Chains A and B, each alone.
Chain A
Amino acid sequence: KAGVTQTPRYLIKTRGQQVTLSCSPISGHRSVSWYQQTPGQGLQFLFEYFSETQRNKGNFPGRFSGRQFSNSRSEMNVSTLELGDSALYLCASSLNGGQGANEQFFGPGTRLTVL
């Protein structure tokens, strides 16, 4: 099975712009979660989508949003970029992510640099 894929792998934007990142989960996985990783804050949960619905959300401002399509692929969007949004954005997929033990499989991440 192919793993979790994320595109693009690297991205450079300027302040005030917006950006869209894409994630394709492992085939058959219905839960997709997004995380932000920065040197100062570590790995922080952004949100989780399941069956095209946002099921859980972390403590991030409304500039961070996402969506999931019927094929479970997911996108996240960051509007009005700030310098502090520079980070590695990781996507993780799991089978259903609900009751019981469902490990999350992470993609390679998208490295976003905001200038």
Chain B
Amino acid sequence: DAKTTQPPSMDCAEGRAANLPCNHSTISGNEYVYWYRQIHSQGPQYIIHGLKNNETNEMASLIITEDRKSSTLILPHATLRDTAVYYCIVRVALYNFNKFYFGSGTKLNVKP
């Protein structure tokens, strides 16, 4: 059921920006893009979401391409504590339908 494609792993140097890509080429107009991360088998943690426009919060920035077929999560200054599996998810936002499709995620390794 997964509708997203992510690289299985990425490395990033501590203090540098981490750019995590995601392809969602079959996304439809009413689907949101969400990003979550999961640290060492804890429950997934919400990071950010967007529909069309780029979004920024205290944790990250989300850049969505104009055709909405791909997006990039940016952690501006990665720390060792950002080492986790990052999931890009599309969510059908219809009334009476609430389901997240999780893909395989990207394992981000932040190195000193």
Contacts and interface: CB of A to CB of B under 8 A. Distances in A.
Contacts of A102: 93, 98
Interface string A57-95: 011000000000000000000000000000010101010
Interface in A14-63: 31, 33, 35, 37, 42-45, 48, 50, 55-56, 58-59
A48 B91 CA distance: 14
Interface size class of B (residues with CB under 8 A): 20 to 34
Nearest to A57: B99
Interface of B: 1, 32, 34, 36, 41-46, 49, 51, 87, 93-105
16 contacts: A45-B1, A45-B101, A48-B98, A55-B98, A90-B44, A98-B94, A98-B96, A99-B93, A99-B95, A101-B51, A102-B93, A104-B98, A104-B100, A106-B44, A108-B42, A109-B43
Given A92-B43, A101-B93, A104-B46, 7 more contacts: A33-B99, A44-B102, A48-B99, A55-B98, A88-B41, A97-B98, A107-B43
